[in-house]
Structure 1
Amino acid sequence: MDVTEQRYLKLLSRSFPSAAKASAEIINLSAILNLPKETEFFASDIHGEYEAFSHILRNGSGSIRMKIDDVFGDTLDEAEKRSLASLIYYPYERMDLVLSQVSDIQGWYSVVLPRLVEVCRRAASKYTRSRVRKALPPEFAYIIEELLTEDRYGVDKQAYYEAIISAVIRTNSGRALIEALCNLIQKLAIDHLHIVGDIYDRGPAPHVIMDALMGYGYHALDIQWGNHDIVWMGASLGQRGCIAHVVRNCARYGNLSILEDAYGINILPLAQFAQRAYADDPCVAFGLKGNPDLSPQDLELNIKIQKAMAIIQFKVEGQLIDENPSFGLQDRKLLHLIDYERGTVLLDGVEHELTDKVFPTIDPENPYQLTPEEEDVMQRLEQAFTSCEKLQRHMRFFLEVGSLYKVQNNTLMLHACVPLNADGTLKEVNVFGEILKGRELYDTMENWVRIGFYSDDARLRKCGRDLMWYLWLGEGSPLFAKSKMATFELYLIADKAARKEVKNPFYTLLEDESALAGIFEDFGLDPDQSRIVCGHVPVKVKDGEDPVKCGGRVLTIDGGFSKAYQPTTGIAGYTLISNSYGFVLAAHEPLESRQAAVEKMLDIHSSRRVVESVRARTLVADTDTGTVLKQQIADLERLLEAYRRGEIAERE
Structure 2
Amino acid sequence: MTHKHYDLKKDERYLQLLGQSFPNIADATTEIINLEAIAHLPKGTEHFLADIHGEYQAFQHVLKNASGNIKRKVNELFGDTLRSTEKRELCTLIYYPEQKLELVKHEEKDINDWYHITIYRLIEVCRDVSSKYTRSKVRKSLPPDFSYIIQELLHEHSDDKDKTDYVSAIIKTIISTGRADDFIIAVCEVIQRLAIDQLHILGDVYDRGPGAHIVMDTLQNYHTWDITWGNHDILWMGACAGNDACICNVIRIALRYANMATIEDGYGINLIQLATLAMDVYGNDPCEEFMPKVSKDNPLDERSLTLTAQMHKAISILQFKIESQMIARHPLWKMDDRRLLHAVDYKKGTIVVDGKEYKMRSCNFPTINPDQPDQLTEEEQLLIDRLHHSFTSSEKLRSHIRALLRHGCMYNIVNHNLLYHASIPLTKDGKLKEVEIAPGEKLKGKELLYQTGMKIRSAFQTNSDLQTEEEHQDAVDFFLYLWCGPDSPLFDKAKMATFERYFLTEKETHKEAKGYYFTMRDNEQTVDMIMDEFGVQQPNRHIINGHVPVHVVKGESPIKANGKLMVIDGGFSQAYHKETGIAGYTLVYHSRGFQLVQHEPFTSAEDAIKRGTDIVSTTQIVEMNQHRLRVEDTDKGKELRLQIEALKELLYAYRCGFLTEHERKTPPKA
| Alignment TM class, shorter chain as reference | over 0.9
CA–CA separation in structure 2 for the residues paired with 1:447 and 1:362: 37
3-state secondary structure, aligned to 2:48: strand
Question: Where does residue 113 of structure 1 map in the other structure?
Answer: 119
Find out whether 1:252 has 2:256 as its counterpart. yes
CA–CA separation in structure 2 for the residues paired with 1:335 and 1:493: 13
Question: Where does residue 4 of structure 2 map in the other structure?
Answer: none
Question: Where does residue 347 of structure 1 map in the other structure?
Answer: 353
How does the TM-score come out when normalised to structure 1?
A: 0.99
CA–CA separation in structure 2 for the residues paired with 1:84 and 1:437: 51
2:448 to 441, 446, 457: 441
CA–CA separation in structure 2 for the residues paired with 1:419 and 1:552: 21
CA–CA separation in structure 2 for the residues paired with 1:382 and 1:525: 41
Q: What is the one-letter code of the residue matched to 2:277?
A: F
CA–CA separation in structure 2 for the residues paired with 1:167 and 1:528: 54
3-state secondary structure, aligned to 1:22: helix
CA–CA separation in structure 2 for the residues paired with 1:126 and 1:206: 33
3-state secondary structure, aligned to 1:407: strand
CA–CA separation in structure 2 for the residues paired with 1:107 and 1:295: 50
Question: Where does residue 211 of structure 1 map in the other structure?
Answer: 217
Find out whether 1:511 has 2:522 as its counterpart. yes
Q: 1:151: Cα distance to partner?
A: 2.1
3-state secondary structure, aligned to 1:172: coil
Find out whether 1:453 has 2:457 as its counterpart. no
3-state secondary structure, aligned to 1:564: helix
CA–CA separation in structure 2 for the residues paired with 1:527 and 1:319: 47
3-state secondary structure, aligned to 1:294: coil
Contact 2:456 2:475 in 1 (8 A): yes
3-state secondary structure, aligned to 2:608: helix
Find out whether 1:270 has 2:282 as its counterpart. no
Question: Where does residue 668 of structure 2 map in the other structure?
Answer: none
Q: What is the one-letter code of the residue matched to 2:394?
A: C
Q: 1:460: Cα distance to partner?
A: 2.2
CA–CA separation in structure 2 for the residues paired with 1:285 and 1:419: 33
Question: Where does residue 232 of structure 1 map in the other structure?
Answer: 236
Q: What is the one-letter code of the residue matched to 2:517?
A: F
Q: What is the one-letter code of the residue matched to 1:471?
A: L
Q: What is the one-letter code of the residue matched to 1:554?
A: L
Q: 1:357: Cα distance to partner?
A: 1.5
Find out whether 1:483 has 2:494 as its counterpart. yes
Q: What is the one-letter code of the residue matched to 2:628?
A: R
Question: Where does residue 160 of structure 2 map in the other structure?
Answer: 154
Q: Percent identity?
A: 47
CA deviation vs aligned residue, 1:223-259 (integer Å, no higher than 9, x gap) = 1110000000010121111001001111111112321
Q: What is the one-letter code of the residue matched to 2:237?
A: M
1:463 to 446, 460, 474: 474
Question: Where does residue 610 of structure 1 map in the other structure?
Answer: 621
Question: Where does residue 636 of structure 1 map in the other structure?
Answer: 647
What is the number of equivalent residue pairs in this alignment? 650
Contact 2:288 2:309 in 1 (8 A): no
Question: Where does residue 142 of structure 1 map in the other structure?
Answer: 148
Question: Where does residue 169 of structure 2 map in the other structure?
Answer: 163
CA–CA separation in structure 2 for the residues paired with 1:513 and 1:545: 17
Q: What is the one-letter code of the residue matched to 1:192?
A: Q
Contact 1:284 1:356 in 2 (8 A): no
Contact 2:420 2:545 in 1 (8 A): yes
Q: 1:533: Cα distance to partner?
A: 0.5
Contact 1:89 1:182 in 2 (8 A): yes
CA deviation vs aligned residue, 1:287-322 (integer Å, no higher than 9, x gap) = 112424223222211111110011001000011001
Q: Within 5 Å, which residues of 2 pair with 1:318-329?
A: 318-329=324-335
Q: What is the one-letter code of the residue matched to 2:619?
A: R
Question: Unaligned regions of 5+ residues in structure 1, if any?
Answer: none
Moved over 6 A (4+): none
1:432 to 430, 438, 448: 438
Q: 1:552: Cα distance to partner?
A: 1.0
CA–CA separation in structure 1 for the residues paired with 2:160 and 2:129: 22
Q: 1:153: Cα distance to partner?
A: 2.4
CA deviation vs aligned residue, 1:330-383 (integer Å, no higher than 9, x gap) = 111110110111111011111011112111111000001001100000000000
Contact 1:286 1:307 in 2 (8 A): yes
How does the TM-score come out when normalised to structure 2?
A: 0.96
CA–CA separation in structure 1 for the residues paired with 2:92 and 2:352: 58
CA–CA separation in structure 2 for the residues paired with 1:2 and 1:160: 53
3-state secondary structure, aligned to 1:342: coil
CA–CA separation in structure 2 for the residues paired with 1:502 and 1:108: 60
Contact 2:415 2:634 in 1 (8 A): yes
CA–CA separation in structure 2 for the residues paired with 1:296 and 1:462: 42
Contact 1:290 1:564 in 2 (8 A): no
CA–CA separation in structure 2 for the residues paired with 1:29 and 1:479: 40
CA–CA separation in structure 2 for the residues paired with 1:285 and 1:337: 19
CA–CA separation in structure 2 for the residues paired with 1:518 and 1:104: 64
Find out whether 1:88 has 2:99 as its counterpart. no
Find out whether 1:283 has 2:287 as its counterpart. yes
3-state secondary structure, aligned to 1:508: helix
CA–CA separation in structure 1 for the residues paired with 2:629 and 2:562: 20
Contact 1:517 1:527 in 2 (8 A): no
Q: What is the one-letter code of the residue matched to 1:75?
A: T
Q: Within 5 Å, which residues of 2 pair with 1:532-547?
A: 532-547=543-558
Contact 1:448 1:463 in 2 (8 A): no
3-state secondary structure, aligned to 1:285: helix
Question: Where does residue 362 of structure 2 map in the other structure?
Answer: 356
3-state secondary structure, aligned to 2:288: coil
3-state secondary structure, aligned to 2:459: helix
Question: Where does residue 411 of structure 1 map in the other structure?
Answer: 417
CA–CA separation in structure 1 for the residues paired with 2:620 and 2:86: 26
Q: Within 5 Å, which residues of 2 pair with 1:293-372?
A: 293-372=299-378
Q: 1:507: Cα distance to partner?
A: 1.1
CA–CA separation in structure 2 for the residues paired with 1:340 and 1:94: 61
Q: What is the one-letter code of the residue matched to 1:428?
A: E
Contact 1:572 1:589 in 2 (8 A): yes
Find out whether 1:497 has 2:477 as its counterpart. no
Q: 1:152: Cα distance to partner?
A: 4.5
CA–CA separation in structure 2 for the residues paired with 1:528 and 1:469: 38
CA–CA separation in structure 1 for the residues paired with 2:340 and 2:251: 21
CA–CA separation in structure 1 for the residues paired with 2:293 and 2:529: 39
CA–CA separation in structure 1 for the residues paired with 2:292 and 2:46: 37
3-state secondary structure, aligned to 1:454: coil
Residues 55/207 of structure 1: CA separation in 2 closer, same or farther (3 Å cut):
same
Find out whether 1:373 has 2:382 as its counterpart. no
CA–CA separation in structure 1 for the residues paired with 2:45 and 2:230: 23
CA–CA separation in structure 2 for the residues paired with 1:645 and 1:181: 49
CA–CA separation in structure 2 for the residues paired with 1:62 and 1:477: 36
CA deviation vs aligned residue, 1:492-540 (integer Å, no higher than 9, x gap) = 1111111110111111112212211221111011274311100000100
2:42 to 31, 36, 44: 36
CA–CA separation in structure 2 for the residues paired with 1:250 and 1:369: 24
1:20 to 26, 47, 56: 26
3-state secondary structure, aligned to 1:74: helix
CA–CA separation in structure 1 for the residues paired with 2:25 and 2:323: 65
Q: 1:469: Cα distance to partner?
A: 1.6
Contact 2:416 2:538 in 1 (8 A): no
Contact 2:294 2:300 in 1 (8 A): no
Q: What is the one-letter code of the residue matched to 1:470?
A: Y
Q: What is the one-letter code of the residue matched to 1:441?
A: L
3-state secondary structure, aligned to 1:551: coil
Contact 2:600 2:617 in 1 (8 A): yes
Q: 1:122: Cα distance to partner?
A: 0.6
Residues 155/2 of structure 1: CA separation in 2 closer, same or farther (3 Å cut):
closer
CA deviation vs aligned residue, 1:364-423 (integer Å, no higher than 9, x gap) = 000010011000000000000111110000000000001111001110010001111121
